[in-house]
Structure 1
Amino acid sequence: ALIVGAGVWYASVKGDDPAAPTASGGAAGSGGQDGAAPEAPDGAGSEKVPADTQAKVAFQIPAPVVADTVTTAGSWLTDRTYAKSGVNEVVGYDAAKGTKLWSVPLPGEICAATRHVKDNRTALVFQPSKPTPQVKYPACSEVGVIDLDTGRMLWTKSVAGASQGDRKVAWDEVTIGANTVAAGGTHGGAAWDLATGKELWRPQEDAEGCYDMGYGGGEGLVAARKCGDGDNQYVTIQNLDPVTGAPLSAYRMPAGVEYASVVSTRPLVVAADVGDTAGDGSGISDFFSIDEKTGKLKAKIVADAERYAGECRSTDVENCEKLVVGNGRLYLPTEQHEGSGEDYNRVNEIVAFDLATGKLTGQRLDSGTNAQVFPVRMDGGDLIAYRTPGYERGGQVVSVDGASFKETVLLRTPVERAISNAERGLAERERMIYRDGRLYLADRFVSKPSTVVKETRYLALVFTTR
């Protein structure tokens, strides 16, 4: 049952009572010895608190002027380079100063990009040409890998044939898992070696009409595979050998699942909207914690869409936002709801579910008055989270101790209204990046400027405490 009171939400999971939340932080992790503070299961983080947490704008990238909406998906960071997709190009900037270092021109529009960076390399999908009167919508057929430090396109590949005859296969998404680049879509999946571009496999259907819709990457490589047709369709989650594509384990999703999203490959966590019951466009009604070695279900977490605010684009296999896995837990924000006090006050929290049991751990991070807070990434066993700007207050990046759940502010953005407005808009667009005192916000689309509202629009906005 759901109980709303004093600005706190409690939720049950599969009828089990949650662990009791603490007043200000949450349940502890593993106990320390001789009075030492307990440590999170994944160890200590590496992010340090700056001498001054008040940030300033480091640099900004103006949004290009376009006549129609253009996809600019993809932003990446290395030790020296911040790279951002633009209109028919990827541009590298000095990570600290914002000066342009290089540009990789593309023959057509960017369609999709992975968030993963391996050996300072990343992957994207793009069109082979710009639109023409004869071909108004070129297929998203090209997969490329870019070296983010040198600004070189290392290789570009496409796949012809398969079930498409002489036409090239179109891809909906791309990822990097281990040392493999994998792309998937409605015509199946293919993979290449990250370093060389050597083809590892290509789309092929079996006797049941099964095909890889897409892949989740990171430490491992996991496929979401659809089989059958009509009312007999089902989805299987396969943990793959990233070199051969052979399944190491498999879990068949329950009936009523048309698409599935891989939240994490190590440990394996999958989100799905079972029977289209979410009803809010989030693509999530349940999370599935799966043993990647055996394919057995460890726990199912019911995530009522009216309570929780994570999002997975329903047809994409790897495109979840505002949720993070670490310490053997799933960190998930609640939806905004009425907080305590007499004034109008909308708040939310980040809560944690145990992946072994599916139960709430009792850990909770509060947003504070008229703000929202959501997970960004893990830093060892610490959770990096973002708090939106509020009245006369900028946004914040905080580090949350994985054991005590106590927060430490790492960065505060400026309070100026124009900056806060831009920050609010970009924080909801593309996955943000925080590292070593710098916060990078970016847009995954640019569109035709409004003729009614005059505003400065940004492709990216970067804050620094350094």
Structure 2
Amino acid sequence: MTTQMAPEEGSPARPDGRAAARAADRAAARSGRRRTRRVVLALVLLAAVGGGTAVALHREDAAPTASRHLATAWQHPAPDADDALVGSWVTGKLLIRASTDGGLRAYRLADGAPAWSAALPPKIAHGGTRPCAMSPTLTAGGLGTIAFGKDGSTCTTLAGIDAGTGKVLWTVPLTDAKHPTAAAADTYVQGGVATIVSENFLGGLDIRTGRRVWGFSPRGYYCNAYVWGGTGVVLVDDYCADRKAPFTLAAYDGATGKRLWSRQQDAHTDVAHVFSASPLIAGEHTAGEDSVRVIEPTGSSRKLAVGDTELDPGNGTDADHSARVIGKVLVTPAQTAAGPEIDGFDVATGAKLWHLPAIALATPLKADDPVYALTGTPAAPQVVRVAPRTGRATPVAALPAENSSRHFTAGALYVTPDGGVLEVAAQATSGGVTYAR
């Protein structure tokens, strides 16, 4: 059993963890499998600068075909055969792609020409320069966070990045003399605060300066915990031997660190995915069942009618975060025995409203963007617009037929304001980046 050490004032928390399965967990996540991050605390604060289902389209139904045809404007292959996507951002003029072997690079949407590449300062680079985590979103001013390490499975440095220029604004170490073992990490941006969720570091930083905004403290002296994150929220499942209620699951505001709710448990809960922070929707695994739940501000929850479908917040990879709540409908990628699809759930009742056979769900560039999906076959792929409440699919544009060297199956899909379509593949075997318009 571990002992809680005295915290130092004014710093985020660094969970002191055992890391035997970290690399395997991150590799599994990069392949689209569920990842669980365990944090073995002592936490040490260190200094740091219901209704029926309406089915929209059955697989055997013939889908309408788009009359507008797009052509490939430009392509960039993956840098090598082992390259894996870590994340991507799209601004008004740029695609920014982070990958394990390709680094952090920006391309102009107009012609695909390289715009910039970012690198850590030389005095920081000794800890590793390969991207290992990327915030799913940017601030309104175009700032985001990237974690770097010696590989895509463990992270040693968090950096603030200006997406317009590639300038590294600040760096924060994720290892030190007391915590030398690099760990897997996730990072998120909400408002002006960046959160970092890992075995070594759990807290919030000012996105402009990297200075501490909040740091997590355990509720007991002898605690083990598991932590997960999403944009706007951090979930902590813990066991504290010196507390009357030894097991709890709690949610914290990602911007402030304020505890939103806490509920007592009889045993650990494993959070498979965080689909949304508002409302909070998470996939949970307990000793009794697997479920996807809408969690109220009190911590009470209700299940979505998932059935045998496996929901995923992104298109088969940790690098994509396309699931979203529109109105009171969760629209999310899913997998069934018949193949990939997109599902719609009423978050108020838990009912499954519709399903649509599809290859991928597009990540919105703005909160009010329409819902787009990639459907069809490699010989006849097309983008459709999906009505969130009914799942009705309206063809938007036909894409060029895929060839044997480019078959998009997982990764990030974007529809740009001018109607162009960006495919950012998760694995090198599926290509790199393709832009059609």
State the TM-score, normalized to the length of structure 2.
0.71
Partner of 1:194: 207
Give 1:434 deviation, angstroms: 2.2
> Which of 36, 54, 62 is residue 21 of structure 1 equivalent to?
54
Compared CA separation, residues 327 and 373, structure 1 to 2 (3 A): farther
> Which of 101, 106, 128 is residue 92 of structure 1 equivalent to?
106
Q: Which moved more, 1:187-196 or 1:174-183?
A: 187-196
SS, match of residue 407 in structure 2: helix
CA distance in 2, matches of 1:215, 1:103: 28
Deviations 1:415-466 (A, max 9, x none): 2534xx5133xx31x23222221222224455xxxxxxxx8x63222222xx
Whether the aligned pair in 2 keeps the contact of 1:73 and 1:443 (CA below 8 Å) is: no
Give 1:145 deviation, angstroms: 1.7
Compared CA separation, residues 79 and 212, structure 1 to 2 (3 A): farther
Rg: which structure is higher? Answer: 1
Q: How does 1:100-115 map to 2 (within 5 A)?
A: 100-106=114-120, 107=125, 108-115=129-136
Give 1:383 deviation, angstroms: 2.5
Whether the aligned pair in 2 keeps the contact of 1:123 and 1:144 (CA below 8 Å) is: yes
Partner of 2:229: 215
CA distance in 1, matches of 2:401, 2:69: 10
SS, match of residue 414 in structure 1: coil
> Which of 419, 441, 462 is residue 423 of structure 2 equivalent to?
441
Partner of 1:122: 144
Identify unmatched segments of 5+ residues in structure 1. Answer: 1-15, 26-50, 132-136, 278-284, 338-345, 447-454
Give 1:77 deviation, angstroms: 0.3
Q: How does 1:173-184 map to 2 (within 5 A)?
A: 173-184=186-197
State the TM-score, normalized to the length of structure 1.
0.67
Whether the aligned pair in 1 keeps the contact of 2:88 and 2:97 (CA below 8 Å) is: yes
Compared CA separation, residues 186 and 312, structure 1 to 2 (3 A): farther
Question: Does structure 1 residue 61 correspond to structure 2 residue 76?
Answer: yes
SS, match of residue 412 in structure 2: coil
Whether the aligned pair in 2 keeps the contact of 1:238 and 1:251 (CA below 8 Å) is: no
Partner of 1:399: 385
CA distance in 2, matches of 1:179, 1:23: 39
Give 1:192 deviation, angstroms: 0.6
> Which of 140, 147, 158 is residue 155 of structure 2 equivalent to?
140
Percent identity of the aligned residues? Answer: 18
Give 1:205 deviation, angstroms: 3.6
Deviations 1:326-382 (A, max 9, x none): 221223456455xxxxxxxx677544222122123x4x2543xxxx35533466384
SS, match of residue 380 in structure 1: coil
Equivalenced residues, count: 363
Whether the aligned pair in 2 keeps the contact of 1:111 and 1:172 (CA below 8 Å) is: yes
Give 1:267 deviation, angstroms: 1.7
Give 1:189 deviation, angstroms: 0.6
Partner of 1:357: 349
CA distance in 1, matches of 2:197, 2:56: 45
Compared CA separation, residues 94 and 227, structure 1 to 2 (3 A): same
CA distance in 2, matches of 1:410, 1:114: 29
Partner of 1:380: 368
SS, match of residue 151 in structure 1: coil
The letter for the 1-side match of 2:93 is R
Compared CA separation, residues 115 and 53, structure 1 to 2 (3 A): farther
Whether the aligned pair in 2 keeps the contact of 1:204 and 1:211 (CA below 8 Å) is: no
SS, match of residue 224 in structure 1: strand
The letter for the 2-side match of 1:148 is A
CA distance in 1, matches of 2:388, 2:347: 15
The letter for the 1-side match of 2:436 is F
Compared CA separation, residues 333 and 141, structure 1 to 2 (3 A): closer
Compared CA separation, residues 83 and 105, structure 1 to 2 (3 A): same
Whether the aligned pair in 2 keeps the contact of 1:82 and 1:94 (CA below 8 Å) is: yes
Partner of 1:431: 412
Partner of 1:74: 87
> Which of 405, 408, 411 is residue 397 of structure 2 equivalent to?
411
CA distance in 1, matches of 2:167, 2:116: 9
CA distance in 2, matches of 1:94, 1:385: 23
CA distance in 2, matches of 1:458, 1:23: 31
Question: Does structure 1 residue 266 correspond to structure 2 residue 278?
Answer: yes
Give 1:70 deviation, angstroms: 4.7
CA RMSD of aligned residues (A): 3.6
The letter for the 2-side match of 1:257 is T
The letter for the 1-side match of 2:52 is A
SS, match of residue 402 in structure 1: coil
Whether the aligned pair in 2 keeps the contact of 1:423 and 1:441 (CA below 8 Å) is: no
CA distance in 2, matches of 1:111, 1:275: 31
Identify unmatched segments of 5+ residues in structure 2. Answer: 1-49, 59-65
Compared CA separation, residues 416 and 112, structure 1 to 2 (3 A): closer
CA distance in 2, matches of 1:462, 1:252: 49
